[in-house]
């Protein structure tokens, strides 16, 4: 039997690496942006659930169609689509749980910490697979995520001001 670290390589890691970062960064950005716009927990949780289902399904469909255009074996395209959907659903659901369990004033900070931890973990696995510097990959990926989060906060603040709530 192969060591555990060798099981999540190649196509298995590839199946979760497409949708994982999207779910992590989008969920974190959504929470931060909506909190900045002074939106309540119910609206944030509802938005995350809609994102987890609607955006996830359309993204998985897009991935599936792309996979079909590349002409992989039918089973491989199907497994990649299902893995993408399940990965995104589980990751987005973890953010819904945070929103429901963490007090409102701290939810954005906890979500950022959770999101960066997840993204760093995935980046580490990919770096090991590619045999490149994990620190460099984590730094690059987290920098992009932080830029998205900062932009989301600015948009949320602007909306809050525009609607007279900020």
Q: Give pLDDT tens digits for 50-101.
A: 988 998 899 888 888 888 888 877 787 888 888 889 999 999 999 999 999 9
70 vs 115, residue with greater confidence: 115
SS3 (DSSP) at 63: helix
Task: Report in angstroms the alpha-carbon separations of 14 from 19, 30, 40, 116.
Answer: 9, 25, 36, 19
The whole-model pTM stands at 0.84
Tally of CB atoms within 10 A around 2: 7
149 vs 5, residue with greater confidence: 149
Q: Where are the alpha helices (DSSP H) in the chain?
A: 11-17, 19-36, 41-50, 56-70, 74-101, 104-130, 134-162
pLDDT band at 6 (very low <50, low <70, confident <90, very high): very low
């Amino acid at each position: 039997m192969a060591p555990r670290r060798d099981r999540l390589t190649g196509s298995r890691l590839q199946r979760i690496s497409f949708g994982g970062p999207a779910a992590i960064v989008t969920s974190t950005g959504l929470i931060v942006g909506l909190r900045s716009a002074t939106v309540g927990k119910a609206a944030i949780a509802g938005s995350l659930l809609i994102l987890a289902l609607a955006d996830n399904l359309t993204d998985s469909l897009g991935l599936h169609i792309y996979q079909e255009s590349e002409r992989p074996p039918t089973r491989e395209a199907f497994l990649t689509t299902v893995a993408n959907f399940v990965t995104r659903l589980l990751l987005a659901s973890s953010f819904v749980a945070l929103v429901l369990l963490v007090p409102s004033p701290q939810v954005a900070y906890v979500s950022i910490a959770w999101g960066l931890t997840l993204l760093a973990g995935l980046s580490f696995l990919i770096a090991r697979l590619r045999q490149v510097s994990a620190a460099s990959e984590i730094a690059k990926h987290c920098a992009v995520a932080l830029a998205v989060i900062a932009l989301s906060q600015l948009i949320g603040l602007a909306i809050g001001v525009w609607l007279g709530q900020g």
